[in-house]
A and B are shown apart, each in its own frame.
Chain A
Amino acid sequence: MDGQVVLQLLNGLVVGSSLALVASGLALLFGVLHVINFAQGDFFMLGAYAVWFLLRVTHNYVLSVVAGTLLVGIAGGLLLSLVVWPLLRRSQVWTLLATLGLSLIVEQVATNVLGGDAKLVDAPLAVPVSVGPVNYPLYFLVVVVVGLGVLLAGSFALKYTKYGIWLRAVAQNRPMAAALGVPVPRVFVLAFVVCAGLAALAGGLLVPLTAVYPTVGADVILYAFIVVVAGGMGNLRGAALIAILVGEVQSLGSLVAKPSVVTIALFALVIVILMVRARQQKVVVRL
């Protein structure tokens, strides 16, 4: 196979697996709380900044990623809970607007505090590994494994652990879950923390590739929302699969066309998917 194609396939896998993390956080939050979180890109950005900062303090990459993810996940999740909590009884539109406002504020504050310049982080494990005809940096293969591993572990946790079962119960029927003794507020906060943490983890893992600057999340969020909409809002497995697909389309597409053209093509693809789905579901009442 052509070396370029293999290289882009691997790139697509790296981008796709991180995108899957961001998007599954969004899908989880939508599934459980019906909240659309526009600030997800900012948690990605904060996660990347956390790794950049912690790396200068600790000089240990693994520790930085783990600590950064926990820090941004917990702080971000609590912040998101504070923002969304008073609006839970109101329409989704208001929570969406509130997270949009939060996103604008966080982005501008990050620019004011950290500056608008891109901060570079060197990839650890810069050993090239030969994959077929190309040499690929080991670190990014680790990113793929970690990303997919976390998602897999997450789907097991969702299926078999107590909190996972509670999350699904609340997503399915909130009043019934509450009546059966599920501590709904605790489940909500958990969903927020997991959502923010997944984005922060993706940001921390990808920072050697993308560098970090205040609007780094905006580029990610575009694709993440494409993924969430195309995968079916609130559908975790669909989101993860489509994230990989989007990553591959984006990478392989860059061989034949400009990135902007690929973005628009992806967008057209989402419209087609939605059209097909709308026809299947026969959304007569929703017209």
Chain B
Amino acid sequence: MSVAPRVGRTLRSWRAIGAAALVVGLAVVPPAIGGYVPRALTSYLIFGLLALSVGLISGYGRLFNLGVGANFGVSAYAVAVLSQYGLTNPLLLLVGALGAGLMVALLFAFYALVAGGVEYLMLTFLTTLAFAVLPLALPDLLGGDNGLALKGGLGVSFGLNPLRGNEFYWLVLAVVVGCALLSWFVVRSQAGKAVQAIGRNPVRAAAMGYSVGGYRVALTLYASLIASLGGWLYVLQNSFVHQDILGLGNSTNGLVYALIGGANTILGPLLGAVVLRFVNDSLSRGSTQSPLYLGIVLMLVVYFLPDGLLGLWDRYGPRRRAAGADRAPQPPAAAAAGTSAENLEAV
């Protein structure tokens, strides 16, 4: 009898304990350190939602989307615009953000239905560029080149002050943990498995009777929900939106965070966002070299780290060694199955 299932189960429970410890640690430690730390981590976690959205759609679904930043930005803009018209009820603003994000998501869903592979990618790429010029086309509504400030004081963020105290940090942490848990359940559900099967081989999945279009639309809408929540929290924290968050830069950031963490995981994109934004903040303090670092990181990921940081863990961590100890060496194809690198390979 093989001991692998038992090892797997032990590891899984260890993983759950680890995740719980991580959440408790994140809730307690940064506020205890205080000062700049919770504020910075709040912003990192918000971009983690953007990355998680990219990971779900491009990593699990293998719909290679270069425009998730537009979704994030449109939701943020929606909150800022609504606040200009005296709407300060936080729940209504949340609904507005999700509704606006849904519009972009429907566009992406449409692309997923009419185009595949590279054409889908180019369409999402052009979409994010088009959204980035939208504020210039509608300067009265969207503030043009100057950006748009959020109005309505603290009321818009449930009375939580993003600049003082730790309550806003906890709100963001709760949203992020909620999204991560929900996504974890979603990708492990029957529908989530169907989505991954469609990503690996749409023709085979269609032959097995799965509605390829339907699942892709559902995945797009779900991933959009997460990006929209990120955009909503972003504008609450920064009280300001600018056309940059709609453009290619923001979308690329989300993609790189997801890739460096491991696009085919839930924790990876969040981890990637936190690590990379921290590194970027520390390196480029007082300078504007972040595109250079982003470019270098992107190249490094492409050549040396196609599975992301968590891919390294899978390759060299305890699970692989435990699995390898009592089984014959796996053929390379089987060993690589399910990694994000192989995932993107099929696009």
Contacts and interface: CB of A to CB of B under 8 A. Distances in A.
Contacts of B197: none
Contacts of B122: 36, 225, 228-229, 233
Given A87-B302, A264-B137, A274-B114, A105 B295 contact: yes
Interface stretch (B93-101, B124-132, B229-237): B124-132
Contacts of B302: 87, 94, 97-98, 101
Interface in B101-149: 113-119, 121-123, 125-127, 129-130, 133-134, 136-137
A108 B292 contact: yes
A163 interface: no
Interface in A228-287: 228-229, 233, 258-261, 263-264, 267, 270-271, 274-275, 278, 283, 285-287
Interface in A102-117: 102-105, 107-109, 112
A93 B347 contact: yes
Nearest to A92: B118
Interface in B286-335: 289, 291-292, 294-299, 301-303, 306
B118 A283 contact: no
Interface in A70-100: 83, 86-87, 90-94, 96-98, 100
Contact of A226 (B119, B126, B136, B206): B126
Contacts of B119: 229, 233, 274
Nearest to B198: A287
Identify whether the interface residues of B are mostly helix, strand, loop, or mixed.
helix
Given A100-B298, A108-B289, A233-B118, A258 B137 contact: yes
B298 A264 contact: no
A96 B344 CA distance: 12
Interface residues of B, number: 46
B64 interface: yes
Nearest to B290: A108
Most chain-A Cβ atoms within 10 A of its Cβ — which of B137, B259, B347? B137
Contacts of B134: 260, 264
B282 to A, nearest CB: 18
B126 A100 contact: no
B202 interface: yes
A222 interface: yes
Contacts of B133: 260, 263-264
A32 B116 CA distance: 20
A43 to B, nearest CB: 16
Nearest to B298: A101
Contacts of B127: 267
Given A97-B298, A98-B302, A287 B126 contact: no
Interface of B: 64, 113-119, 121-123, 125-127, 129-130, 133-134, 136-137, 202-203, 206, 212-213, 216, 252, 255, 259, 289, 291-292, 294-299, 301-303, 306, 344-347
9 tightest Cβ-Cβ pairs between the two chains A and B = A104-B295, A101-B298, A286-B116, A105-B295, A260-B136, A108-B292, A260-B137, A278-B114, A101-B299
Given A105-B291, A287-B212, 4 more contacts: A36-B121, A36-B122, A94-B302, A274-B114
